[in-house]
Chains A and B, each alone.
Chain A
């Protein structure tokens, strides 16, 4: 088990991502942040707080994608997590999805399907704290905290104060050492 990002690194990465979101969208007037629970939702909260400091307050919420996953039959049913779409909705907005780790891309595919049920955003962008490679679908992130090349035997764990009591990103191999 090795620590790859500590609390300072995470906070700096999120600050940079926040600035990039403002830059890419020429301001924030049309931006909506949606975090994918569990940890993506907390990251979205933090990015929203950064954006409020840098430029302005943006609508932000959460989007649970469980019911749209294509791997439901491979694993026991999981409890659903909260979805809360900001009252403005997503119609015509520039939606930035936020997740902790980008891996196969299947979660993001499910998120795009879930979004499609709610409305038609003008654009959908993706911000992730860690991109670990091994994509199984043609999906990429627009904003990346850190690219971490991994072996498929390794597991990336993002721990956040809100759920895990500390901020860090660790890498462990399959045996959990």
Chain B
């Protein structure tokens, strides 16, 4: 495995390997091991063309715990046109000798473009490209679900996961559906019809337009933020009306199964898609997701950069 661009790049076995590695790293850190020498001498670049707090910090902290050198590149405010700037930036990084590039970009497919372009020889990790995919978020969500429900072998069959909110603009939803289905879970997408993308029926998930109809069946309620920055149109009459229909408020919280858990990829808009009492309830795994994110990203970095790059390439037939 050389790049991680999409959940579709992963076989079920590779996903299991990453999750198992994350678990071992999790257990090792439970003792006092804070820093591992594994990626000493490797250079990892955080190439962020879009705002991010937790993903960038999470990747940075994962890379540092493995002793890699981290360079943060924030391209905010760059006015150069997309294709050109990406190419120029990539060539600069190549000249600087980057071994791994973690890219977040507002254009879907940017990570794929960087990996396929031949501009750089580094491993590319997609940290969110437009409305397309965010594979490490899906890996950490599945990891968090498996740990919570004590699925040692990462088989999630029998669990029903509801993803609620702005599915249309959500790369997190897309990656999550792909991975959760791979691991055997049932997925229900819950949103107003305007926020369900065309073709979502083919993802392998059920679609529901009513949160209230399905909430009692869910083992996991994954709420998503309304992505105003990607909305060029009006998808619902008002935020209040959206929140009434699709927000995880206190009355819906009380109707959830006692064993069910709440997740959110962050950042949360309290009072819109999730109420404060739901976000802070003891059923909420939001902070666990953040903690687990570091272990999962360490595992991804280890699998992509831990070996000789040339050998991994030939082994995977890339």
By the criterion CB–CB under 8 Å, are A118 and B31 in contact? yes
Residue of B nearest to A90 (CB): B31
* A81 interface residue (CB < 8 Å to B): yes
List residues 92-122 of chain B with CB under 8 A from any CB of chain A: none
By the criterion CB–CB under 8 Å, are B312 and A84 in contact? no
By the criterion CB–CB under 8 Å, are A76 and B36 in contact? no
Other contacts beyond A74-B308, A77-B302, A85-B31: 12, CB < 8 A: A64-B28, A67-B38, A67-B66, A75-B307, A75-B308, A76-B312, A77-B307, A79-B21, A80-B20, A83-B24, A117-B36, A118-B31
Residue of B nearest to A80 (CB): B24
B251 to chain A, nearest CB (A): 44
List residues 278-318 of chain B with CB under 8 A from any CB of chain A: 302-303, 306-308, 311-312, 315
Contacts of B303 in A (CB 8 A): 77
A71 to chain B, nearest CB (A): 10
By the criterion CB–CB under 8 Å, are A113 and B311 in contact? no
Tally of A interface residues using CB under 8 Å: 21
- How far apart sit A73 and B20, CA to CA, in the bound complex (Å)? 21
* A68 interface residue (CB < 8 Å to B): yes
By the criterion CB–CB under 8 Å, are A67 and B315 in contact? no
Interface residue ranges, A against B (CB under 8 Å):
64, 67-68, 72-77, 79-85, 113-114, 117-119
> Which of these, B20, B33, B307, contacts A118 with CB under 8 Å?
B33
- How far apart sit A64 and B17, CA to CA, in the bound complex (Å)? 16
B67 to chain A, nearest CB (A): 10
Contacts of B32 in A (CB 8 A): 117-119
Task: Report if A68-B306 is in contact (Cβ < 8 Å); known contacts: A75-B311, A76-B312, A85-B31.
Answer: no
Task: Report if A113-B37 is in contact (Cβ < 8 Å); known contacts: A77-B312, A83-B24.
Answer: yes
Contacts of B31 in A (CB 8 A): 83, 85, 118
- Of all A-B residue pairs in the complex, the 8 with the closest CB atoms, nearest first, are A80-B24, A77-B306, A76-B307, A67-B38, A77-B307, A67-B36, A117-B33, A80-B21
Contacts of B66 in A (CB 8 A): 67
By the criterion CB–CB under 8 Å, are B27 and A83 in contact? yes
Residue of A nearest to B33 (CB): A117
A152 to chain B, nearest CB (A): 22
* B25 interface residue (CB < 8 Å to A): yes
Contacts of A77 in B (CB 8 A): 302-303, 306-307, 312
